[in-house]
Structure 1
Amino acid sequence: MPFFRWVVALGFLSFACAVGLYATGSDLPEARQIDLTVLDEKSDGSCRVRWTDPYEKRTREAPYHCDPGRSDLLKAPQYSDSHGYGWETGFMLTEGPQRGNLEDLTTEQDLGSADIFLLVGIPLIALGLLGGNLRALPRVLGVRSRLIRRANELLQAATTAAEDYDRAVAAVGEAKRHDVLPDEAGSDSGSRLITALWVLREAGPQARQTAALGRKLTERLHRLLDDAAPAAGLRSMLQAGPGERLKAAQAVAELRPLLAGAERNGVPERFAQTSVDLLRGQDEDLAALAAVTDFAGDPLAYRHLLAQLTPFAVLPGTASSRRGRSSRR
């Protein structure tokens, strides 16, 4: 529940009410500054002043509290006045039954509505900001964007290696529908089946193992990355609930040793090398020439490899369907 967010909102609302009341001046009577003639003044600031009341059309006198710290040039007898009086300024009320009177700044006034709103709003804002930041601190510390990025890179490499191997096996299945292995070497130099088998021979038996590892790792990484998604960034972590943050912390704890072990054993490099080896058949002319030469040297190895792949060789549509399911996990 966003408790501190509501505290901040309430604080800003109170502060806005205080600003509005101060702007309209609803709590304070209107007053304007006027000149005062200081008739008598003591060292503590107590004085008697004279001013002109424009409402009663007469000159008035009253006790007042002058500023004792003002310049001596404004006090009697230094002030340049022919009567030997001093000078001060004050505020005269211009509305209400007290208009024409001086505003007594030394008298303690009761807190108005604007003051109350201000005294309530400022602590609420401070409490909301401080509490919200303290509450968000565990979420900020739970962000592991670099770890998530490394896991995504490993996932991409594993998925690519598995898909490249499935594509190579599917190419053998497709070629087998139209071609058969020739009985004699060199009798069919343009055989697509020989070329497809040559790609897998060049990748080596470890390509199949690497692809199997890629499928297994892809499934596991998909599950962990789905749970660890909130830890990918500050925004997602702040928006996640307590349950999601707990799952993210558990997933991150499982991802950390998994990535460390994969990098220590060179698994990303194996995936990359397997993908490179399985892409050798893209140049069909060079691949066909190399395949015929290799087939002539060891045709039995090709027949043995074809026998091994026959249960796994599928049509391209089936392979792509399986890859589609893998990518949607």
Structure 2
Amino acid sequence: MRHMPFFRWVLTAGLLLFTCGVGISVVQPGPELVATRQIDLAVVEEEPDGTCRVRWSDPYAKETREAPYRCDPGRADSLKAPNYYDTRGYGWETGFMYTEGPDQGDLEDPEGELKYEHGDPGGMVLVLGVLVATVGLLGGNLRALPRVLGVEARVVRRAAALAEAAGWAAGDYARAVEAARDAGTGGGLGATPGPELVRALWVLREAGPRARGAAEAARELADRLTVLLEEAAPAAGLRNRLQAGPAARDAAGRAVAELRRLLADAERDGLRERFAQTSVDLLRGQDAERAALAAGADFERDPEAYRRLFEELTPPGPVPLPRSRRR
């Protein structure tokens, strides 16, 4: 199923909203304060803490209104009842009344927030754009993290399988050579060589000259992959990555890149198939009875080829066995 870049579109939408918000804020003037004018207030009741009830004349409703208010408790005593000269026994205070908008005729709260004629649509669009872009960034990264880790884990698994196949091919060839050398320690290829030696040499002849080159390439590749797989261990899963330090994660990233390159080269050269075929060819001697018959007939047909092969195997010394072993 094709991947749908949902969060990429969310991020794009957030950036567009952010850009539109900036444009609106630049083009449209900022919000203005609601107009007010100062008026006199008659203080009907007042507490020592400034809590009071005031009365004023509303010219818009054409009536006298009364409402709770917050008077200034620190104003002069001569402005408070009963010291104020008002014949009704009221005190005096001043306040601001809204002259426009839905609150026209109401008193402005001295301790409240200032009121504006309209909000800032540009600012609202800008904030919305930031929120949407944040969702796109976080969602995209969280969605991509398992996918990226999954890709790296698959690379590590494929490299481990290739290293195992290379180890098998190199190990099978090394054991076949060691079997021929061990069988030839009793005197080598004389007039009547031992059947074990002939069978061991026959296995190598059947595998062909390419088996040695495939085994050498397999041994080098297995050694290289073993080192890289140890460095790439943090990339094998999310838990391993979280437990590793920054330096180990950086080294794992470089190791995975190198593993990816080696896998591409191996796939291009068909190394996995070559290693598998080499192992199959080298395991033909497991059926000892049939291998002995075939080896004896082949030796009688061309004994010099067997002697040349045995001479090629004896001088170098023991062939090193790889670390991996067939299960």
TM-score, with length taken from structure 1: 0.52
Q: CA deviation at 1:139?
A: 6.2
1:264-303 paired onto structure 2 within 5 Å? 264-303=268-307
Q: 2:321 aligns with which of 320, 323, 326?
A: 323
Whole-Å separation in 2 of the counterparts to 1:155 and 1:228: 14
1:1-329 paired onto structure 2 within 5 Å? 140=146, 141-143=148-150, 144-183=152-191, 187=192, 191-312=195-316, 314=318, 322-323=320-321, 326-327=323-324
Question: What is the aligned partner in structure 2 of residue 86 from structure 1?
Answer: none
Whole-Å separation in 1 of the counterparts to 2:253 and 2:143: 15
Whole-Å separation in 2 of the counterparts to 1:280 and 1:137: 50
Preserved CA contact (<8 Å) 1:148 1:232: yes
Q: CA deviation at 1:191?
A: 1.5
Whole-Å separation in 2 of the counterparts to 1:257 and 1:191: 45
Whole-Å separation in 2 of the counterparts to 1:313 and 1:172: 12
* Cα shift readout 1:33-71 (whole Å, capped 9, x = no counterpart): xxxxxxxxxxxxxxxxxxxxxxxxxxxxxxxxxxxxxxx
* Cα shift readout 1:190-225 (whole Å, capped 9, x = no counterpart): 621111100000001111101100111011101111
Q: CA deviation at 1:294?
A: 0.6
Preserved CA contact (<8 Å) 1:170 1:313: no
Between Structure 1 and Structure 2, how many residues are aligned? Answer: 187
Q: CA deviation at 1:149?
A: 0.7
Q: CA deviation at 1:312?
A: 3.6
Whole-Å separation in 2 of the counterparts to 1:243 and 1:135: 21
Whole-Å separation in 2 of the counterparts to 1:160 and 1:132: 45
Q: CA RMSD in A?
A: 2.6
* Cα shift readout 1:61-88 (whole Å, capped 9, x = no counterpart): xxxxxxxxxxxxxxxxxxxxxxxxxxxx
User: What is the letter of the counterpart of residue 304 of structure 2?
Assistant: L
Preserved CA contact (<8 Å) 1:176 1:193: yes
Q: CA deviation at 1:132?
A: 11
User: What is the letter of the counterpart of residue 269 of structure 1?
Assistant: E
Whole-Å separation in 1 of the counterparts to 2:203 and 2:138: 59
Aligned-residue identity in percent: 53
Question: What is the aligned partner in structure 2 of residue 107 from structure 1?
Answer: none
Displaced runs of 4 or more, over 6 A: 131-139
* Cα shift readout 1:268-303 (whole Å, capped 9, x = no counterpart): 000000001001111111101000111111111101
Whole-Å separation in 2 of the counterparts to 1:179 and 1:199: 20
* Cα shift readout 1:84-136 (whole Å, capped 9, x = no counterpart): xxxxxxxxxxxxxxxxxxxxxxxxxxxxxxxxxxxxxxxxxxxxxxx999998
From the superposition, tell whether residues 288 and 175 of structure 1 become closer, same or farther in structure 2 (CA, over 3 Å): same
Whole-Å separation in 1 of the counterparts to 2:232 and 2:154: 12
